[in-house]
A = this chain, B = another copy of it.
Amino acid sequence: MSANPSSPPVYADIADAAARLQGQAVRTPLLRNDVLDARLDARIFVKAECLQRTGSFKFRGAFNRISRMNSEEKQSGVLAYSSGNHAQGVAAAARLNGTTAKILMPSDAPRAKVEGVEFWGGEVVDYDRGRDNREEMGRAIADAEGRILVPPYEDPFIIAGQGTAGLEAVEQMAEFGEAPDIVVCCAGGGGLIAGVGLAVKHHHPDAQIWSAEPVGFDDYRRSIASGRRETNERLTGSICDAIITPTPGELTWSINSTQLTDGAAVSDEEALDAMAFAWRHMKIVVEPGGVAALAAVLSGKIDVAGRSVCVLATGGNVDRAVFAQALERL
Question: What residues make up the interface of A, taking CB atoms closer than 8 Å to B?
Answer: 26, 28-29, 31-32, 34-35, 38, 50-51, 53, 55, 92, 112, 119, 279-286, 316, 320, 323-324, 327, 330
Contacts and interface: CB of A to CB of B under 8 A. Distances in A.
Contact of A330 (B31, B38, B320): B320
A281 B35 CA distance: 26
A327 B322 CA distance: 11
Nearest to A330: B320
Copies of this chain present in the complex amount to 2
B51 A29 contact: yes
A32 B38 contact: no
A53 B34 contact: yes
B119 A51 contact: no
A223 to B, nearest CB: 31
A5 B330 CA distance: 42
B35 A119 contact: yes
Given A324-B327, A327-B323, A327-B324, A283 B50 contact: yes
A325 to B, nearest CB: 11
Which of A28, A29, A31 gathers most chain B CB within 10 Å?
A29
A220 B70 CA distance: 56
A23 to B, nearest CB: 9
23 contacts: A26-B31, A26-B32, A28-B29, A29-B29, A29-B51, A31-B51, A34-B53, A34-B92, A35-B119, A38-B119, A50-B283, A51-B282, A51-B284, A55-B281, A55-B283, A112-B280, A283-B285, A283-B316, A284-B285, A285-B285, A320-B327, A323-B327, A324-B327
